[in-house]
Structure 1
């Protein structure tokens, strides 16, 4: 809570260059860091072995889990088993699972003895229609061993391919598959590291590869980002220097998937570094998963909470009508953190007001920015801000270069010990990812909130790769348009895709929140059980028509005004790279895969399903 939390002061230096670029650095030097990320597990197990570390609900819905001492024993047993198999340390070990305790144990067991682990998105199996990304990742990494959660679920995809000598293990249902072994068979009896395993633990350096994390491609297949121990430990140490109020008493309930950098590196490693307790949330901010998240928040009342804007928008809508949920969420909270995109200002202000109602003072809203390649945090908010758009300033050891872009914006480029050495087995992609000074090219736009006061922080300014020109040559800045429509359409709009390059005017494709809309229009919903018919009802079309009218009333220019839109019946497809399992929409992939819909939006004669945005009366 803010009154007892000491916030860091802002100390930065700015270098201005003749080419128009600027470099901003944190004046605070990076503190010493351990070589091995898993050193923190052993420290915690020594200092407070009985303290709960990882908790999850059992089949009866009760919370159960492992203490730090128990987790260390299990991790050591797994490490001993892996070392005994004489696996090639140059080949990553693959992991296909939803967040769970066994997933965490296996990750730690691999990393602490110098094996790298490749966490594969659970959605590539559970949601994808083809599972093709799984095969791509296994081919790129050459993984000799794959751990999966439920063999019955995942073997439906894996049996499509010839997998050669791949060793496969499962947390459950291995007995149903002759080529899958029980995960428990990897565990050795000794709860301390064997001499050979200890030797491998001691050999880990900051340059030792810990993970290969695959990022979602746009039109191409995902790339494997090399993540080292040094990248992750320096990231957490730098964050702690700016957030000194974090300690071993932290309690978190979190759903962010661990195959991604936000959940797997930022959040998980933060609990590991500080010795906090991690409650695994199997909910998410989708209309279906939100109820699980709400139930877990009621149970746990976290001290810190991390999320993406969509999760806060959904929670805020629920807390406005649920006083008990509001009290459970805020009563122990120190701060609220959002990343990945800017939170709309109304939700930002509304949640601050709610925190004041519960606690007496408004909680600080913190944010950060980074990518998988920056492991992930490059900038962090660590002082009181009043603008939801601020993404912070560099953490210790990190430099951010603002480089002019052809669209008129500035690209954020990053250098520091948290930066990847490149992409696994992709030398050409690696070479193209850095400028001549070694700064990583993020393709994210950014600017100072106040050009005369850099200490006020940086503001995210959209993906420069998603900006485009109209046929007139006018630049369209995609991010701001999407933010406007998304804010106006909440909570009945999941995302909007802006179309299209080299056209005369702007149009949009909308992914609607069908469960939310059906709840808002129950009578219409009952009369139209079929989704395509329901989406074309006057009430639904009229709602979104007003959204675009309101936007256009404040945006008159051709590069910001929408002339037509369409409500998409098919949700975004993960196997087409249109979305990630966190719900991020890949604009370019949607435009490419739904080219027919784009053409209909620009047809001379208005086809069914295309709505013209009339002027607001």
Structure 2
């Protein structure tokens, strides 16, 4: 058998040391030491503005009056630093601080980027929050919680008309509203342009010099899986250390030009810390993608990827699936995207094997080599980068070894192994939540992640670790048998590709494991119905039911016991919603929220009271 050929990619960490602790505890560290890193990210901004003043830092397509997008608007490093100093002066003039920070309601755009840089320069924290809290939510409960937690002194939204209802419902008269365009009925607003027109003084440089490793640079809220979201404190040390860790684990970031095309939301750590920080730290360029991996917006992403060739490309599994499908027939997309990309990276959920195979096939067809698909593990509290794979031979769920400077503590938890983190990239805690902060760390100062890992190969520690689910998601059947949710979900998604978007497992304190399946739009192809047929009718179609009968039968053939045998399955016509916390902005499912909000469906599934319940015939 011929060995697959990959476009060359260097892996920075390939060796680690494991030591034993007390019974059931082990510690794992990379053999590579963490190199020195700057005290603040603004040091890198200033450096690149001096070394590469004309190079583009951020670019975004201009918004036209009819709502369409036009040519790219570029902001260079020199322009970004100048704008940051002006905005920073305006923020200092307002007396803002960690006690009265800046809150951003709207999505990724150039003004959002410049405001973030202005906050960094002035040493004033900012918090980008989920636009869904303002635009989709009907009660604004999560946005009210954010406002109560942070007590912002200034709130920014790109389009006042779109965000007016949310701002009026959640913000007091003492909070200044800044917008790029539009008005808020009954409230004065400040134009973003007026911030940008402020003349910078020596006070800005003094403020920037006064920041240091312990300065709070931003707040990022957790998804709020079980309770209201928590504000994760992000310090300069945490962000800078993590960026240095990334460059050592992923040397490709410093090996020549760095160009990203990225849609990932900045209110999440993947887009807002990992990728936003990456281009500043390494002198790269980010093209802001207004597309998303949804049927309505994926066309914009594909348009951008036909035009701009990234050198590394980050996305979530649903995004890669859409791109893989498009590349089968889109010659220009294949030609541009694959022309110089050195590495793909996915996170957020499981990537089905057929998607990997399709990406490899397109790359081999176009350039004669595969592009390495990489992954890792991290979280908002870790900056987010924590673990990264060690070779191109990656399989779904593989996570690899810890990044330099991060110590892993592996703790036996009744048959599962929880991973805990300690290092300079770990948050000092949650803002204004001392009890939650204390509960998050163990007696040795390790952050308790709740993630379960196991060895890729128990005989070779250097291959690293792979994902084994979330400890809080796992449950027991009535027989006392543990169900490991993460691996079983991944197995079901792979078996049902490309027709399964995600799966929520059921069966807590019951005799059997059940599955509630969120199908992809591609399931319509199986139904043979008109394009405007409702999803309920689509899922009732004989062709759809027959396909999922085949899937559950195949899963039953490979099951080894009640803990991994899907005994009953139903298809959900109503997709998971952000407003109910069932799904995040970047598409990852919240198992607990789905189970809570669809408890009636769970009960009917296990009581055989749904119209269609698919059971194994083998």
In which range does the TM-score fall when normalised by the shorter chain? over 0.9
Partner of residue 335, structure 1 = 343
Structure 2 residues without counterparts, runs of 5 or longer: none
- Separation (CA, whole Å) in 2 of partners of 1:422 and 1:36: 19
> What's 2:478 paired with?
471
2:530 to 525, 528, 540: 525
Q: How far did 1:4 drift?
A: 5.8
How far did residue 68 of structure 1 move? Answer: 0.9
- SS for the counterpart of 2:41 is coil
- Closer, same or farther: CA 130–555 of 1 in aligned 2, 3 Å: same
1:217 to 192, 216, 224: 224
Alignment of 1:157-306 (within 5 A): 157-161=166-170, 163-174=172-183, 178-190=187-199, 193-247=200-254, 249-306=257-314
The residue number in structure 2 matching 1:147 is 156
- Report what 2:51 is aligned to: 47
Matched residue, 1:347: 355
- How far apart, in 1, do the equivalents of 2:570 and 2:192 lie? 47
Q: Structure 1 pair 150/11, CA: closer, same or farther in 2 (3 Å)? A: same
The residue number in structure 2 matching 1:132 is: 141
Alignment of 1:337-486 (within 5 A): 337-406=345-414, 408-486=415-493
Aligned to 1:323: 331
Structure 1 461/249 Cα, relative in aligned 2: closer, same or farther at 3 Å? same
Query: Aligned with 2:37: secondary structure?
Result: coil
Aligned twin of 1:588: 592
Match of 2:617 in 1: 615
Corresponding residue for 1:516? 522
* Residues 1:563 and 2:571 are matched in the alignment: no
Equivalent residue, structure 2, for 1:101: 110
1:532-561 deviation line (CA, Å, top 9, x unaligned) = 233222222222232222222211421111
Does 17-26 or 354-363 show the bigger shift? 354-363
TM-score normalised by length of structure 1? 0.94
Once residues 537 and 393 of structure 2 are traced to their aligned partners in structure 1, the CA distance between those partners, rounded to angstroms, is 45
Alpha-carbon offset, residue 399 of structure 1: 0.5
Shift of 1:569: 2.6
SS of the counterpart of 2:70? Answer: coil
Q: Which residue of 1 aligns with 2:510?
A: 503
Q: Which moved more, 1:149-158 or 1:360-369?
A: 360-369
List runs of 5+ in structure 1 lacking aligned partners.
none
**Displacement of 1:182 after TM fit?**
1.5
Instruction: Tell me, in whole angstroms, the C-alpha distance in 1 between the residues paired with 2:370 and 2:223.
Output: 36
Q: Once the two structures are superposed, what CA deviation does each residue of 1:473-527 show, in whole Å capped at 9, x if it has no partner? A: 00000011111111122222221110021011111212222x3233554x4135x
Counterpart pick for 2:131 among 111, 115, 122: 122
TM-score between the two structures when normalised by the length of structure 2: 0.94
Distance in 1 between residues matched to 2:74 and 2:139, nearest whole Å: 34
Report how far residue 327 of structure 1 moved: 2.3
Q: In the TM superposition, what is the alpha-carbon distance from 1:382 to its structure 2 partner?
A: 4.8
Contact 1:369 1:378 in 2 (8 A): yes
Whether contact under 8 Å (1:128, 1:573) holds in the other structure is: no
Deviation of the 1:186 alpha carbon: 2.0
In structure 2, how many angstroms separate the alpha carbons of the residues matched to 1:537 and 1:271?
Answer: 48
Distance 1:594 1:428, change over 3 A: same
Distance 1:399 1:171 in 2: 43
| Offset of residue 298 of structure 1 | 0.5
Distance 1:465 1:535 in 2: 31
Per the alignment, do residues 127 and 520 of structure 1 end up closer, same or farther by CA in structure 2, a change over 3 Å counting? farther
Moved more, 571-580 or 346-355: 346-355
How far apart, CA to CA, are the structure 1 residues paired with 2:352 and 2:536?
29
Decide whether aligned partners of structure 1 residues 488 and 413 sit closer, same or farther in structure 2, where only a CA change above 3 A counts. Answer: same
**Distance apart, 1:442 and its partner CA:** 0.5
Per the alignment, do residues 122 and 273 of structure 1 end up closer, same or farther by CA in structure 2, a change over 3 Å counting?
same
Contact 2:477 2:512 in 1 (8 A): yes
Q: What is the count of residue pairs matched by the alignment? A: 608
2:604 partner SS: helix
| SS of 2:449 mapped into structure 1 | strand
My pick for the range that moved more, 317-326 or 56-65, is 317-326
State the alpha-carbon separation in 2 of the partners of residues 327 and 488 from structure 1: 30
- Match of 1:77? 86
Alignment counterpart, residue 65 of structure 1, candidates 63, 74, 98: 74
Q: Distance in 2 between matches of 1:438 and 1:179?
A: 47
